[in-house]
Each structure stands twice: as structure tokens, then as C-alpha cells.
Amino acid sequence: MNESPGRPVPPLPPGVDPAWLPAFALRPVGSRRVRVVGTGPLVDTVRGEVVAAVREHGGHLVDDGPVDLDLVCAPETGGGPEAFTAARAAATTTVRAAEGAGLLYGFHHVVRLGEAAFTGTWSTTAAPRQAIRMLDHWDNVDVHPVMGQVERGYAGGSLFYADGGVRADLGRVAAYARLLGSIGINRVCLNNVNVHRTEARLLTDLLPDVARLADVFRPYGVRAHLSVSFAAPITVGGLATADPLDPEVREWWARTTAAVHAAIPDFGGYVVKADSEGQPGPFAYGRDHADGANLLARALKPFGGTVFWRAFVYNHRQDWRDRSTDRARAAHDHFSPLDRRFDDNVVLQVKHGPLDFQTREPLSPVIAAMPSTRLAVEVQVTQEYTGQQKHVCHLVPHWREVLSFRPWGEEGGTVADTAAGVVAVANVGDSPVWTGHPLAQANLFGFGRLAWDDRLSAEDVLDEWIGLTFEDRTVRDALHQVMGDSWRTYERYTAPLGVGFMVRPGDHYGPDVDGYEYSPWGTYHFADRDGVGVDRTRATGTGFTGQFPRPWSDVYESPDTCPDELLLFFHHVPYGHVLRSGSTVVQHVYDTHFAGRDEVHRMALIWATLRGRIPADTFERVTELLREQLRCATEWRDQVNTYFWRKSGVPDARGRTLY
Ligand code: GCV
């Protein structure tokens, strides 16, 4: 018997949206007789959920006695630490798990099922497909003059920091932790991978405040991590060097890490962006990235911590005249020779594509090249290149494609089978709806669900989110129509055929076809009067195709077998090149851009039918944002089409207006 009142559900500050845990979503549980058995912080969290739900909806938390129960959440022996069994038999639904985390996940499984959890006879045994299900926040303590407080953040300021430090009131962070726990996120990195001066101090004098944040996340099964600067021994430690082989540097990291663990006993570890876009790293000392990562891994090892070492290393000061350097090659060139060199508590964190979270990229070949290294696949929930939370762009189908891709062909496993974890750049801030765009909540929810089980269908995940978020069941079809295909719609009206980076330099919003063409960033499309695309073949190009195993190294090598959607990523082709679809490249550009923009128009019309069925503030906000999406899609259509018409001189076969 346990009569603890449970951990109170964190109240939402006035005006803050409940996201996918509104009161009505808890009604099926809260209107029933429920027993929660067991002790421990996460069991207390479950009990608190039940206490709040039954209070709201008229059910009962029944601690003991021979009462007919509708739902029992109880411990069992055996099963993984995050696994659960949920079942219904003899009119009682049960959730059983060996540990509190499993019980919490099983409880939320029942919440997601809603009334279906209390009908019929059924049974599910579930365990996460990925042990590491992590969100990286690119939050700064200080407000950056260009980036704002959250780098590439489109949802307001930081949830964690205000007035030069960790917020005094962490009530909203607790509500956020609850949301994350409900979708199975189990790790969070609290600061930007670009570590600036103030943020470097999170590791030292600001540590007591980081510990307060970790305390808030812990009862929801979420471990805290920090991004650290490789130069910290110098910048905050006062040493003369950060050389990973220097004994004093090693000693400094060991001492500093011990202090972190003393403050945060379950500290998850460090995230490191080194030798990348101006961040310091081991190259300055003639050392490689295994030397760098292992330095930190060894400091964390005694405490069970992990280093998340990012593979996003490339030359961002390239000369655009130099056709031999290919940014897409960089991560594989740097890291694949280091396979077998990393300690076992290093996780190499690899962006899903070889460039940078473009709407369409091939898989990063690093993911198939390092069988002896633990790899985490990094995706971007924050919509840096996918409409910046001004556009509806539902990314779950995209991530599902990434995770289910088979790098060794049909006979081999999927990316998800291979990965040691998945990491996403978070999309929340202090916006009242968390994500700026209300519908972008579905991306955060969907990331958590796919991290738990990549085999869930994108439609089902969207359906779960809709069912939890909107009380009116009749909105379902319309929302599927607005959101379901919106990633492909976005792809249609932006950069064509996988060529990427036709965005405005700096802020990365809206079209600027040549914006990066003569820049040092290594992201070129090479359009001229005859054709467009990057020759990355072995035969005549940069040789990038050779970084893939078979069959992909061959599939990508030939324009005849390369999938249309990646053609310009791998090949420079004439405008008249006939795609596998039968259309020419330039006609495809025209057709997709007209179609994509018109789809946005249709999305807005469908959304308009939801007036009165969606909460008024959400309805108005999304209506306004769809207006901006339509404006921006029109701009994309006209700039991209006009650009290719002017370059190629080929008119649109259907005679539509080009400028
Ligand atoms: C945090 C891209 C973004 C940068 C980001 C970087 C990264 O280049 O534009 O803002 O920096 O990716 O992932 O480290």
C-alpha cells in the first residue's frame, strides 16, 4: 500500500497551452478507479497524474481494499528499465513495469489509447527501439545580438534562462519535462552547442543552477546534459592549453566532471561541437577527434556519463572557386578513419544528411561507415530550413524515411537498427504555445514517438497527436489534409531535386537562389545556362558517391538510377535531362513549384473550414501563419521558376507566367 499523494502535476502558467496533455486527454483515466502501486520518484509522478486526473474527472485513486479497479499500475520483476506491459483482461487494464520509467511510459500509453484502453481484451509489451532519445536545446543564457536567445529558435526566448542565469521560477520547465516524459524523451541538453562566454560557466560557477534544472527533469525520466567548449580548460579553467594529451588538461576535466556529478548525480554527460564553425577543438593541438572525445569520455566514465561528440566538422571558409573541396564529404573523411578509436562511452552524433538538415538529403554516409563506434542520428525539430515555424511542415514522414533507410540495401538493417540513439534539435521556447506555430507541436510529439518506435506510421503518430490535442473529433480529416503531406509540399516549392541551400544567407528563411553560390560555406548548386547540380560522382566529380556502401554507391553514381529527388545532389545535368518521372529537369522545377504553392493555398482553404471547431486563438494564429506561408511559397515559386527560366531560356510547357 502506498498513500503518498504523488508528485503534483505542474500547473501551467496562465495563458500557456497544455499541448498534447490537456485535461480532456486525461478523462478516460480520470473518470475511473485507479490504483498505483510502488515507490520511487517516477512512480510518484504517475500517482500525481492519477490524483490530478481523478480530481478533474470524478474517478478515484484507490490505494487498497477489494474494490473492482479499472486501471492498475504496478511493478513487476523482469523487463528492461524502460519497458512496460499494458493489457486488459477481466475488465481491468493493467500497466506493469520493472522500473518507474517503464511505468510512466506505460501510463502514457494508456492515456494515448483513451477510451480504447478500457474496452475489449488486449495486451502490449513495449520497449523503446532507441536507448538514447534526446533533445538538444540550442539555448543561450545571454541574448545573442544576431541569433536571439535560442540559436535557430522560432518560438521566443529560452524556457530555461532569463536575466543572465537560470530562471528563478522553473514551473514552466516542470510542465515541459512532463510533456517530454509523456513521449519518452529521456535526455536533454540544456545549452547551445555553440558555447559562448557566459554559457561556458554553466560547467563551473553556474552549476548549482544547472542542478536545479536537472532536479526538475529527473522525476520525468529525463537526464540533463551540458554542451561544453573544448577550450574550457583555458577559458574557465585558467590553464594555458586545452591539448587533450596534456596531463593538466586531463586532470582539469576529471576534477570539473567530478564536481558536476557531485551536484547532479545522474548527469548524462557532455555534448561537444569541436573544430566546427569556429568552435575550438583538438585540431589546434595537432590531435584528432578521437583524442578529443576520449579525453572527456574518460573524465565522465567513473560516473556513468556519455560524451556526445558531433560529427558536423567541415571547412566553412572554403573558396567557392575551388571545385575539389566537397562539404558533403567532410564528416566521412574526418571520422571514418577513426572507427575503433572511440571509447565505449562516446556517442558520435551525426546529422542525418551530409550537409545540414536540408529538406532533402541522402543519408550521411558516416552512419554506414563506423561499425565499431556508437552513433546517434541527429535530426532538426526546430525548422531552420523547413519554414521556421511560420510554415506548416510536418517532419515525421521525413524522419521516418531517414530511420527506415537501409544503408546496405534491402538485405541489410535500417538506420534505426544500427543507431545507438536519436537526437533532435528542440523547437520550443517561451512562446505560449511552446513552439511558436501551434501545429509545430506535432513535430516535437512525433520525434518522441519515432524515437521510441521508428516503425510507427507517420499517419498514426499524427493521428495520436490530433486525438490528444483537439477535443473535437471532426477536425481529424482536415488536419491530416493540412499537415500530412506538408513536408513534401514544402519540398515542392523550395530548392528542387535535392540541390538544397537556396535560402537567404544568415537567417535561412525564404528564397535566395544564388545566396550561397559565391560564399565560403561550401553549399553550391552550380547552375549555369546549360544545367544545374553538383557532380559528386566518382567518375567525374568529387567522389562522394564512393563514401556509400553498395548498392547506394552505384545507385547514386548514375543519373539513370539516382532517385529523382536526389538527382541534383549527386549530378550536374542539363536542363533538358529527362528524369525517371519522364519530365525534364526544368519542367519538373516549374511543375513542382506551381503545384507546391497551390497546395499551400489549398491547405489554407481546408484550414478555414475548421473555424469554430478549433480553439479560437489557435485558429486565428494558424490562419495568420498560413497567410505568411502562402506569401513565402509564392515568393519561392516565382524566384526559383524565374531564375531557371532566365538561366535556361526554356519556357514552361504549360505557358504559365514566368517573370
Ligand atoms: C548551432 C547550422 C546552423 C547553426 C548551427 C549548426 C550546428 O549550421 O545554421 O546555427 O549551430 O548548424 O548544427 O552546429
Is 70 exceeded by the pLDDT of residue 2? no
**Predicted pLDDT at 5:** 84
Ligand 1 atom index nearest CA of 147: 10
Whether the CB-CB separation of 227 and 192 falls below 8 Å is answered with yes
**Stretch 330-349: mean pLDDT, rounded?**
98
Q: What percent of the chain has pLDDT over 90?
A: 97
Q: What is the atom index within ligand 1 of the atom nearest the CA of 276?
A: 14
**135, 140, 152, 357: which to mutate for ligand 1, most atoms within 8 A of CB?**
152
Output the residue whose Cα is nearest ligand 1's atom 14.
193
| CA-nearest residue, atom 3 of ligand 1 | 152
Q: How far is the CA of 138 from the centre of ligand 1 (A)?
A: 9
Our mutation pick for probing the ligand 1 site, out of 149, 356, 358, counting the most ligand atoms within 8 A of Cβ, is 356
Ligand 1 mean position to 320 CA, how many Å?
A: 20
Ligand 1 midpoint to CA 276 (Å): 9
Q: What's the 523 CA to ligand 1 centre distance in angstroms?
A: 14
What is the spatial distance between Cα 10 and Cα 24, in angstroms, rounded to a whole number? 16
pLDDT of residue 146: 86
356 counts as catalytic: yes
**DSSP tag of 31:** T
pLDDT of residue 349: 98
d(CA 208, CA 391): 39
Q: Could you tell me the end-to-end alpha-carbon distance of the chain, in angstroms, rounded to an integer?
A: 75
Strand 84-89 to strand 92-97: parallel, antiparallel, or no bridges (unpaired)? antiparallel
Ligand 1 center from residue 281 Cα (angstroms): 16
Q: Which residue, by CA, sits nearest to atom 2 of ligand 1? A: 356
Relative to the CA of 151, which ligand 1 atom is closest? 10
- If one residue of 191, 229, 277, 361 were mutated to test the ligand 1 pocket, choosing by the most ligand atoms within 8 A of its CB, it would be 277
CA 503/CA 513 separation, integer angstroms: 7
pLDDT reported for residue 65: 80
Residue 425 alpha carbon, nearest atom of ligand 1: 13
Location of C-alpha cell 551536484? 263
- The whole-number pLDDT of residue 67 equals 83
| Grid cell in block for residue 213 | 534544472
Q: What is the pLDDT of residue 78?
A: 87
277, 460, 477, 528: which one is catalytic?
277
What is the grid cell recorded at 434? 511552446
Classified as helix, coil or strand, 651 is coil
Tell me the pLDDT tens digit for each residue of 111-165. 999 999 999 999 999 999 999 999 999 999 999 888 899 999 999 999 999 999 9
Q: How far is the CA of 93 from the centre of ligand 1 (A)?
A: 46
Ligand 1 atom having least distance to the Cα of 138: 1
Q: Match 571509447 to its residue by C-alpha cell.
A: 343
Query: Is residue 15 very low, low, confident or very high in pLDDT (cuts 50, 70, 90)?
Result: very high
Q: Which atom of ligand 1 is nearest to the CA of 508?
A: 9
The counts of H helices and E strands in the chain are: 20, 20
Q: 58-117 pLDDT, tens per residue?
A: 999 998 887 899 999 999 988 899 999 999 999 999 999 999 999 999 999 999 999 999
Mean of the per-residue pLDDT values of the chain: 97
Task: Give the active site residue among 44, 356, 361, 591.
Answer: 356
| Distant-in-sequence, close-in-space partners of 145: CB < 8 Å, separation ≥ 6 | none
Name the catalytic one among 70, 139, 326, 384: 384
342/294 Cα distance (integer angstroms): 6
Length of the chain: 659
Closest by CA to 250, choosing from 210, 218, 287, 209, is: 287
Ligand 1 atom nearest the C-alpha of 378 is: 13
What residue's CA is closest to ligand 1, atom 8? 356
Q: What is the pLDDT of residue 509?
A: 97
Q: Which protein residue's CA is at the shortest distance from atom 11 of ligand 1?
A: 194
Nearest-CA neighbor of 470 among 300, 318, 304, 622? Answer: 622
Q: How much distance in Å is there from the Cα of 419 to the middle of ligand 1?
A: 22
Q: How many whole angstroms from 379 Cα to the centroid of ligand 1?
A: 12
Q: What is the pLDDT confidence band of residue 3, given thresholds at 50, 70 and 90?
A: low
Residue whose CA lies nearest to ligand 1 atom number 12: 356
Q: What residues does ligand 1 touch, defined as CB less than 6 Å away?
A: 138, 151-152, 193-194, 273, 312, 356, 384
Measuring from atom 13 of ligand 1, which residue has the nearest CA?
312
Q: Is 620 a catalytic residue?
A: no
CA of 357 to the centre of ligand 1 (A): 9
What pLDDT digit, counting tens, does each position of 374-425 carry? 999 999 999 999 999 999 999 999 999 999 999 999 999 999 999 999 999 9
Taking the C-alpha atoms of residue 542 and residue 560, their distance in angstroms, rounded to an integer, is 18
Rounded to whole angstroms, how far apart are CA atoms 402 and 395?
11
CA 654, CA 435: separation in Å to the nearest integer?
Answer: 40
Say whether 384 is catalytic: yes
Ligand 1 centroid vs 160 CA: distance in angstroms?
A: 20
**Ligand 1 atom index nearest CA of 193:** 1
363 residue type, one letter? L
What's the 256 CA to ligand 1 centre distance in angstroms?
A: 27
Peptide bond into 551 cis (omega under 30): yes
CA of residue 202 to ligand 1 center, whole Å = 20
Cβ neighbours, 10 Å, residue 375:
24
With 0-12 CB in 10 A as exposed, 13-18 as middle and 19+ as buried, what is 270?
A: buried
**pLDDT (mean) for 212-228:** 98
